[in-house]
Amino acid sequence: MLEKVDLSRAIPKEEYKSRLPALQERLYELQLATSEAGLPSVIVFEGWDAAGKGTTINVLTSRLEPRAFKLHVIQEPRTHELHMPWLYRFWQRIPSNGHMALFDRSWYRRVLEERVEKLTPKSEWQKAYRDIADFERTLADNGYVIVKLFFHISKKEQKQRFHKLERDPLTSWQVQPQDWRRHKKYSHYLVAVEEMLARTESEWAPWTIVEATDRYWTRIAVFESITRALGAAASRRATTKA
């Protein structure tokens, strides 16, 4: 699947600047519309290290109503969470009606990093595909809009970005030894990503692969994917009420 993605896709900076304001306004309008309609939404950001998830989220949320969304940056589970069902900590972060939750990394950590780094037994991460499908289906059945984005860059591009970050004293902290270790396992992660995309794609929670080599193209693609999903959900809700 990923080998067919055109990672050369890009747009000029001038085009990006001309298109961004309208997309920001549209997203804000949809946030208000879904909030008034009581429609909750979950937006998942997955992808390679240094693929631009964080900076894209910053641009995405800069014009949103801060009281109606929450950003969750997912890391390793805390000690007390290890004694609970593994999806427990994500259920705790699901938004209420009319609100939006953004996940910078998510429950997909189990079938990616935990799988490749052997942090979770094989039997557990294999079972996680079913758990994820049930989890997302339950959300969808309860009216949640689910948008899942995977930011894709090549191994070469990732290496170049790591070096660029390391050269700048203000950003060098962003690249840690574990990032380089994961980079060396790019091919192993690629296998895990391919299986993840294939086994967790669904009508109610589809994946969007974002070509993330060019940051301007990336941001526009993300805005368009989210506004398209929220707009369709808002239209369906309006039709139902009519």
E-only strand ranges, 93-155: 100-104, 145-152
Q: 39: which DSSP letter? A: -
The distance of Cα 164 from the centroid of its chain, to the nearest Å, equals 23
Q: 207: which DSSP letter? A: E
Q: Tokens standing for 46?
A: 């997955």
Q: Give percent of the chain with pLDDT exceeding 90.
A: 96
* Antiparallel, parallel or unpaired: β 145-152 and 100-104: unpaired
Q: Tokens standing for 6?
A: 């055109």
3-class DSSP state of 203? coil
Return the pLDDT at 181: 97
Q: Tokens standing for 44?
A: 């998942």
| Domains of the chain by residue range | 2-236
Return the pLDDT at 242: 60
Return the pLDDT at 94: 97
pLDDT tens digits, one per residue of 74-95? 999 999 999 999 999 999 999 9
Q: Which residues contact 13 (CB under 8 A, 6 or more apart)?
A: 216
Q: What is the pTM of this model?
A: 0.96
Asked if residue 42 lies in contact with residue 147, where contact means CB atoms within 8 angstroms, the answer is yes
Rg (CA), the chain: 18
Q: Residue 71: beta bridge partners?
A: 102
- Match 């969750």 to its residue by tokens: 72
3-class DSSP state of 201? coil
Q: What is the CATH number of domain 2-236?
A: 3.40.50.300
pLDDT tens digits, one per residue of 166-224? 999 999 999 999 999 999 999 999 999 999 999 999 999 999 999 999 999 999 999 99
Q: Residue 150: beta bridge partners?
A: 46, 209
pLDDT tens digits, one per residue of 48-66? 999 999 999 999 999 999 9
Asked if residue 207 lies in contact with residue 200, where contact means CB atoms within 8 angstroms, the answer is yes
Q: Tokens standing for 208?
A: 């969007």
Q: Tokens standing for 233?
A: 């959900």
3-class DSSP state of 73? strand
pLDDT score of 154 more than 80: yes
